[in-house]
C-alpha cells in the first residue's frame, strides 16, 4: 500500500503497517524521535494502523502538537502516582492546557503543596520504570463496569451517544477513560513539576461537588522547565494586583462591585500621564478629541446591533421620562463601546469628501458584563477606559490611514520597549458585506502591513462579522504575549446609521470606517506595564519621580527649597521630613520604586550640590543642582 508524506512524496508500506513503521522506514533517527503521528490530520498513537492512501506525519518534539501530547501523558502519570499513594481517588478530567496540565480529583486526604514532593517522587519512579501507555477500545457496557467505582467517569460515559467509540488508556496502576493519543512510554517524559492547587466545581457547576484541581507542567528538557519556573516566579513577583496594592495604584472594593477598579492618587496620576502623552501626539497626527455619554437610549443599541447581538454583556435599565400621573418608561443601556457615539457625531453634519479622513478619538469609559470568574484585576475588568478612535475615510484612503495607525503603534510600543507581532484575521463564516468589499479590505490591511515592513500571520476566519482586522500582540520582559492594539475595518456601522459623504462628483457615498485602539483598555495596558517593569515605571511615567531626603531637621528648609525648584520644571516630588534614620527613608523610597532619591545635608548645602541615588544603580555620587534639575526637566511631558 502507499502512504503520503508531508512533503507530498509517497512511501510504499506493507499492509498492516503502523505509524511507528512509517517512521522507521524513513530513518532510524526519526523512529527514535517519534512521539505520535498525524493521519489525515488526526492525532494518533504510534501503534495506529495506517491504510492505503493515508497522509501520514510523524510527531516529534519539534512539532507544535508535541507539548500538549507530553503534558496530557504527564497528567496520566500524576494520576497513577495519586492512586499509588492514596488508593481510593475519584477522578474527573485531566486535560493539557496552556503551559501545562491539570487533573480534577476527589480524595479523602486534604492535599497541600507540601504533598507535591511525595507525588513528584512517585511520578519520577513511574517515569524511570518505562511504563507503556496502552489503549483499548471497549464497549459502553465494559466501560460502565470498568469505572463502576468512579462516579465522575460514569457520568461522562452515560452522556456518550450509543455509537461512540470508547477508548481507555492504562499507565501503571491507573486506568483512564481517554481519547488519547499518548506517548508510547513514560520514559519519554524528561522534566516535570507540580505547580499549584485550586478548587473546581465538577463540570463548572456551583451546585455540583467541589474537586481538587492539581496543576502541573512538563517540558522536553530540564533547562526549559527551569526557565519556565523562573518566569513563573518572576510573574508572581510582578503580579500587577500585588504591585497595585504596594504602590498605591488602585483598589477593588467588594462593596463597589466585581471588576470595578478605583484609582488611588498614584494610579490616577499615571493614568492621566498616559492620556496626556497620547493626547498631545494624536493632535499632532490630525485627530480631533470628542466626548460622548456613558448611556444611550436603547434605540441606539438597536440600530447599532448591540441590542440583539451583545445584550448579555451590557447593563440595561429603565428611566421614567413621563410624569407621576402618566409614567412613560424608556430603556437605556450603559455603553460597552464608544463607536455609536462617534458615528452619531459624524452624521450630525453633512460631510464632504473634503472633510475626509475624519479622525475622532476619545478616552471613553465603557462597561461590560464580564463573568465574575474571568475578572482579573486590571487585565480584565467590568469598567475600563479605552483609547478609542474611529477614522471615517474614502475607500482610496484606507491603506494610508492604516499605515498611519501602524506608525502610531510602532511609536508607542517602542517607547515602552515592547517587541510586537501582527496578525490579520479574515472573513468568518457569518459576516456582512460583499465578497468584493471583504477582498478589498483584507488586501488593504495586508498592503498597509507590507508598506510598514510589518510581518504578519493570517488567522483565517477569525475576523469580526463586520470586517477584517489587524491584532497587535506585544511581548513583555519575561516573554509573555499580550493582545493590545487593534485596527478593524467596519462595514456594519456606516450601513446601519446610514452614513454618507458628498463626493467630488456631487453624489452620495458611504464612508469607510476604521476602529482603532492602541493601548486598548488603558486599565489593561497599565496592568501590563506594571508587570513588564515590575512596578519600576520609567522616569517620565512614575507617579513620584524624586524623593528629597533631608539628613537632619536643620536641612528641611533646603530640602523643600530644592523640591520647589524641581516642581517648577514639572517634576513630581515628595520630601521625606519624618524624624527617621536615613536607611529607613531610603528603604521606603526603594519599596515605592521611586526613580531618584536626593540626599541633602551640610556638605550639599555648602557646595550647592545634591547627593543622588537611583533606584536600581544605587549611589551616583554628588551632582551639581542644575545638572539634576535638567534631568527632571527633560523627563517632563
| 530-559 confidence digits (pLDDT tens) | 999 999 999 999 999 999 999 999 999 999
Residue 303 falls inside a structural domain? no
**Cell (9 digits) for 402:** 492604516
Can you tell me which residue has the cell 528538557? 221
Helix (H) or strand (E) holding 70, with range, is helix 66-86
Nearest to 6 by CA among 60, 48, 45: 60
Last residue of a domain, one of 482, 508, 532: 532
The active-site residue, picked from 178, 339, 449, 484, is 339
Owning domain of residue 585: 546-635
Instruction: Say if residues 528 and 379 touch (Cβ distance below 8 Å).
Output: yes
Distance in angstroms (rounded) separating the CA atoms of residues 301 and 332: 9
The active-site residue, picked from 240, 382, 515, 524, is 515
Residues (pLDDT < 50) of the chain are none
Active site residue 279: no
The active-site residue, picked from 135, 382, 469, 593, is 469
Last residue of a domain, one of 200, 221, 237: 237
CATH at 358:
3.30.930.10
Distance in angstroms (rounded) separating the CA atoms of residues 8 and 441: 34
Which phi and psi (to 5°) does residue 263 adopt?
-90, 130
Active site residue 339: yes
Nearest to 193 by CA among 244, 228, 153, 149: 228
What integer pLDDT is reported at residue 432 of this predicted model?
Answer: 82
What integer pLDDT is reported at residue 477 of this predicted model?
Answer: 84
Same domain, 553 and 523: no
What integer pLDDT is reported at residue 152 of this predicted model?
Answer: 96
Last residue of a domain, one of 475, 509, 532: 532
Instruction: Say if residues 541 and 535 touch (Cβ distance below 8 Å).
Output: no
The active-site residue, picked from 368, 382, 516, 572, is 368
Same domain, 588 and 478: no
CATH at 607:
3.40.50.800
Active site residue 230: no
Taking the CA atoms of residue 157, residue 161, residue 166 and residue 168 in that order, the dihedral angle to the nearest 10 degrees is -20
The active-site residue, picked from 21, 388, 471, 490, is 388
Same domain, 358 and 494: yes
The active-site residue, picked from 71, 135, 213, 390, is 390
Burial 305-319 (b: 16+ CB within 10 A, else e): bbbeebeeebeeeee
Active site residue 390: yes
For residue 510, the 8-state DSSP code is: P
Same domain, 427 and 469: yes
Same domain, 43 and 74: no
Residue 308 falls inside a structural domain? no
Same domain, 449 and 374: yes
Instruction: Say if residues 399 and 452 touch (Cβ distance below 8 Å).
Output: no
What integer pLDDT is reported at residue 256 of this predicted model?
Answer: 93
**Cell (9 digits) for 145:** 463496569
Distance in angstroms (rounded) separating the CA atoms of residues 292 and 230: 45
Residue 329 falls inside a structural domain? no
Same domain, 404 and 436: yes
Active site residue 342: no
Active site residue 368: yes
Active site residue 388: yes
CATH at 6:
3.10.20.30
What integer pLDDT is reported at residue 259 of this predicted model?
Answer: 93
Residue 92 falls inside a structural domain? yes
Residue 312 falls inside a structural domain? no
- For 249-288, the pLDDT digits (tens) are 999 999 999 999 999 999 999 999 999 999 999 999 999 9
Nearest to 571 by CA among 550, 602, 540, 594: 540
The active-site residue, picked from 54, 213, 342, 386, is 386
Instruction: Say if residues 143 and 168 touch (Cβ distance below 8 Å).
Output: yes
Q: What stretches of 298-342 adopt beta strand conformation (E)?
A: 315-320, 329-334
Same domain, 83 and 209: yes
Instruction: Say if residues 146 and 175 touch (Cβ distance below 8 Å).
Output: yes
**Cell (9 digits) for 571:** 517634576
Q: Domain count for the chain, please give it.
A: 4
What integer pLDDT is reported at residue 357 of this predicted model?
Answer: 97
pTM over 0.85: no
What integer pLDDT is reported at residue 371 of this predicted model?
Answer: 85
Residue 135 falls inside a structural domain? yes
Can you tell me which residue has the cell 554628588? 622
Same domain, 193 and 287: no
Residue 320 falls inside a structural domain? no
Same domain, 528 and 559: no
Amino acid at each position: 500500500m502507499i502512504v503520503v508524506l508531508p512533503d507530498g512524496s509517497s512511501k510504499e508500506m506493507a499492509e498492516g503497517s503502523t505509524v511507528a513503521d512509517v517512521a522507521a522506514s524513513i530513518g532510524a533517527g526519526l523512529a527514535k524521535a517519534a512521539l505520535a503521528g498525524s493521519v489525515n490530520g488526526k492525532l494518533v498513537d504510534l501503534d495506529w494502523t495506517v491504510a492505503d492512501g493515508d497522509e501520514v506525519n510523524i510527531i516529534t518534539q519539534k512539532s507544535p502538537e508535541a507539548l500538549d501530547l507530553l503534558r496530557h501523558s504527564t497528567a496520566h502519570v500524576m494520576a497513577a502516582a495519586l492512586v499509588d499513594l492514596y488508593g481510593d481517588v475519584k477522578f474527573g478530567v485531566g486535560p493539557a492546557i496552556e503551559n501545562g496540565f491539570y487533573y480534577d480529583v476527589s480524595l479523602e486526604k486534604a492535599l497541600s503543596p507540601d504533598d507535591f514532593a511525595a507525588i513528584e517522587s512517585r511520578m519520577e519512579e513511574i517515569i524511570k520504570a518505562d511504563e507503556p501507555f496502552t489503549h483499548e477500545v471497549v464497549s459502553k457496557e465494559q466501560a460502565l463496569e470498568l469505572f463502576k467505582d468512579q462516579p465522575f467517569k460514569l457520568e461522562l460515559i452515560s452522556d456518550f451517544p450509543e455509537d461512540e467509540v470508547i477508548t481507555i488508556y492504562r499507565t501503571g496502576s491507573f486506568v483512564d477513560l481517554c481519547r488519547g493519543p499518548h506517548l508510547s512510554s513514560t520514559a519519554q517524559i524528561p522534566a516535570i513539576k507540580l505547580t499549584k492547587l485550586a478548587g473546581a466545581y465538577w463540570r463548572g457547576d456551583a451546585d455540583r461537588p467541589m474537586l481538587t484541581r492539581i496543576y502541573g507542567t512538563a517540558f522536553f528538557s530540564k533547562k526549559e522547565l527551569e526557565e519556565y519556573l523562573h518566569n513563573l516566579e518572576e510573574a508572581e513577583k510582578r503580579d500587577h494586583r500585588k504591585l497595585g496594592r504596594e504602590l498605591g495604584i488602585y483598589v477593588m472594593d467588594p462593596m463597589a462591585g466585581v471588576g470595578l477598579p478605583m484609582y488611588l492618587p498614584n494610579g490616577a496620576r499615571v493614568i492621566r500621564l498616559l492620556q496626556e502623552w497620547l493626547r498631545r501626539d494624536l493632535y499632532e497626527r490630525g485627530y480631533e478629541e470628542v466626548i460622548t455619554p456613558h448611556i444611550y437610549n436603547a434605540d441606539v443599541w438597536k440600530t447599532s446591533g448591540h441590542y440583539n447581538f451583545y445584550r448579555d454583556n451590557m447593563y440595561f435599565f429603565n428611566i421614567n421620562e413621563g410624569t407621576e400621573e402618566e409614567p412613560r418608561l424608556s430603556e437605556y443601556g450603559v455603553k460597552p463601546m464608544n463607536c455609536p457615539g462617534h458615528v452619531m457625531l459624524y452624521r450630525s453634519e453633512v460631510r464632504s469628501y473634503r472633510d475626509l479622513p475624519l479622525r475622532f478619538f476619545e478616552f471613553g469609559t465603557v462597561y461590560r458584563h464580564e463573568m465574575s470568574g474571568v475578572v482579573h484585576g486590571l487585565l480584565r475588568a467590568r469598567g475600563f477606559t479605552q483609547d478609542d478612535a474611529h477614522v471615517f475615510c474614502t475607500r482610496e484612503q484606507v491603506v494610508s490611514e492604516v499605515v498611519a495607525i501602524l506608525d502610531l503603534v510602532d511609536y508607542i510600543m517602542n517607547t515602552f520597549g515592547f517587541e510586537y507581532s501582527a496578525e490579520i484575521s479574515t472573513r468568518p463564516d457569518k459576516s456582512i458585506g460583499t465578497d468584493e468589499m471583504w477582498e478589498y479590505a483584507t488586501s488593504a490591511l495586508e498592503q498597509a502591513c507590507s508598506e510598514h515592513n510589518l510581518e504578519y500571520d493570517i488567522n483565517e476566519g477569525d475576523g469580526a462579522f463586520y470586517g477584517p482586522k489587524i491584532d497587535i500582540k506585544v511581548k513583555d520582559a519575561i516573554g509573555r504575549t499580550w493582545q493590545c492594539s487593534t485596527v478593524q475595518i467596519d462595514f456594519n456601522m456606516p450601513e446601519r446609521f446610514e452614513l454618507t459623504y458628498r463626493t467630488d462628483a456631487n453624489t452620495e457615498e458611504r464612508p469607510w470606517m476604521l476602529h482603532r485602539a492602541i493601548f486598548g483598555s488603558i486599565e489593561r495596558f497599565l496592568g501590563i506595564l506594571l508587570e513588564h517593569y515590575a512596578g519600576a515605571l520609567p522616569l517620565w511615567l512614575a507617579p513620584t519621580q524624586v524623593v528629597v531626603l533631608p539628613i537632619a531637621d536643620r536641612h528641611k528648609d533646603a530640602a523643600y527649597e530644592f523640591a520647589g525648584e524641581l516642581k517648577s520644571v514639572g517634576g513630581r516630588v515628595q520630601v521625606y521630613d519624618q524624624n527617621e534614620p536615613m536607611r529607613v527613608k531610603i528603604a521606603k523610597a526603594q519599596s515605592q520604586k521611586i526613580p531618584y532619591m536626593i540626599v541633602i545635608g551640610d556638605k550639599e548645602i555648602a557646595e550647592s550640590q545634591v547627593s543622588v541615588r537611583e533606584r536600581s544603580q544605587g549611589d551616583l555620587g554628588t551632582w551639581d543642582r542644575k545638572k539634576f534639575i535638567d534631568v527632571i526637566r527633560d523627563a517632563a511631558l
